[in-house]
Structure 1
Amino acid sequence: MQLLCQPMGSYQTNCYIVASPQGELIIDPGMGAISWVKENVSNPLAILNTHGHFDHVWSNHALQTELNVPLYCPKEDAFMLQDDPFGLGITPSVPDVLVEGDAVFEIGGMKVQYWHFPGHTPGCSAIEVEGMLFTGDFVFAGSIGRVDFPFSSPEAMKKSIVKFLKFQTDMPLYPGHGEASTVTREQYTLPQWVMAL
């Protein structure tokens, strides 16, 4: 198993490629991700979105079309891919799989577990793949996703953090921006955010 990461665009949004002998999963292809992804995949299996914000899904349509792979997106955030609610000129993309709640998939022999953590967006999720947790804009190293955007919810974020604090398995944590961490390291500081929200 190999993991590649490249920050993309002005927001330095982490795009990840999880590569196995069976093929590659592409997680959150943001602005400018097309050429990097195409250079680093030989048997792409799927595109996985953690949530619907433009800086995480900008290259969805091009890669979905050029690589002929299915797109997975949390159901509650699919409107952001299709309607361009922030008016930024994003090319609409249509998910092939609308992920509902905590859902499990098998893709190319890999177990892919979506964990629903709404708050930053209605569908905001973390994606667990082969003992690695990709948290998008839910949890960062030492911080959490903003809840002052349209469609965000401080109350939902508070409930999501409480849910995350119940995780009993440590694993590497790869956020949508910034450096990697671990589940237990972030669980140590997250209670302060529950109090602050």
Structure 2
Amino acid sequence: MEIKVHPMGDYATNCYIVTIDNKDFIIDPGVNATPWIKQNVTNPVAILNTHGHFDHIWSNQEIKELFNIKLYTPKDDEFMLTLNPYNLGMPHSKADILVNPDEELEIEGIKIKFHHFPGHTPGCSMIEIEKTLFSGDFIFKGTIGRFDFPNSSSVEMKKSLNKILEWKDNYNIYPGHGDKTTLLNEIDNITLWEKHIR
């Protein structure tokens, strides 16, 4: 598995291209992601959204139409694909596949699981591909995602942190912003946040 990453837009939102068996999966195509994606794919097969915030989905529709590929979005964040938060003029997009919480899919022969960790958004998910997690805005290196936005929930975030603390295996984590990390490296931090949230 080869992973390419580039931060997009004012919020330096990580867009990923994950290549397995000469198949390119595009994760979270953010603001003005299209030129970079065009330069770095040879056989794009799908777009995967970790969640529905504008800085992660901005180029969804453009990429979908450019390559004639399907868009997979967590079901509970579908409503965000047609919002225009902060009047920034985000292009609307339409998901081809709405992914249920904790659903595992097979796309072009590759198993991909959307682990549901709501709190940051209702549908917030970590996408697992070959024991690697693309965590969106759930877990970052040294911190966790915010839960004070509209449609966020501190109650759901606390549940999600409890859920991930039950995991026993280590995983590489590629977050929606900042540098990569591992689950074991973040356990102490996640534990502190879980205790902090009321």
Mark the runs of 5 or more structure 1 residues left unpaired by the alignment: none
Q: Secondary structure of the residue that 1:72 maps to in structure 2?
A: strand
Stretches of structure 2 lacking an aligned partner (at least 5 in a row): none
State percent identity of aligned pairs.
51
Counterpart position of 1:25: 25
Q: Is the 8 A contact 1:120 1:146 kept in 2?
A: yes
User: What residue in structure 2 maps to residue 167 of structure 1?
Assistant: 167
**1:184 is paired with a residue of what secondary structure?**
helix
Aligned to 1:191: 191
Q: How does 1:116-127 map to 2 (within 5 A)?
A: 116-127=116-127
Deviation of 1:85 after TM superposition, in Å, equals 4.5
Contact persistence 1:24–1:46 (CA under 8 A): yes
Q: Does 1:100 align with 2:109?
A: no
Deviates further, 57-66 or 185-194: 185-194
Report the CA distance between 1:112 and its aligned residue. 0.3
Partner of 1:132: 132
Whichever residue aligns with residue 112 of structure 2, its letter is V
The DSSP-based 3-state class of the residue aligned with 2:25 is strand
SS in 1 for 2:18: strand
Report the Cα offset of residue 86 of structure 1: 4.1
Q: TM-score, normalised by structure 2?
A: 0.97
Deviations 1:5-47 (A, max 9, x none): 1011110000000012241000000011101011111110100
Counterpart of 1:83, as a letter, is L
Q: 1:146 maps to what in 2?
A: 146
Is the 8 Å Cα contact of residues 22 and 108 (structure 1) preserved in structure 2? no
Q: Residue 47 of structure 2 aligns to a residue in which SS?
A: strand
Structure 1 distance, partners of 2:94, 2:150, is 21
CA distance in 1, matches of 2:188, 2:194: 12
Q: Residues 72 and 95 of structure 1: is their aligned pair in 2 closer, same or farther, counting only changes over 3 Å?
A: same
Alignment deviations for residues 53-85 of structure 1 (CA, whole Å, 9 cap, x no partner): 000000001001101110000111111112324
Instruction: Compute the RMSD of aligned alpha carbons.
Output: 1.0
Match of 1:42 in 2: 42
1:103, 1:120 → 2: CA distance? 19
Q: Which amino acid aligns with 2:25?
A: L
Q: Which amino acid aligns with 1:155?
A: V
Runs of 4+ residues over 3 Å off in structure 1: none
- Aligned pair count reads 197
Read off the aligned partner of 1:25 and give its amino acid letter.
F
For the 8 Å contact 2:54–2:85, the answer to whether it is kept is no
Normalised to the residue count of structure 1, the TM-score between the two structures is 0.97
Q: Which amino acid aligns with 2:5?
A: C
Structure 2 equivalent of residue 16 of structure 1: 16
Q: Encode CA deviations 1:80-100: one digit per residue, 9 max, x unaligned.
A: 112324432111100001011
Mean Cα displacement is larger for which, 82-91 or 102-111?
82-91
What's the counterpart of residue 62 of structure 1? 62
CA distance in 1: counterparts of 2:41 and 2:185, whole angstroms: 31
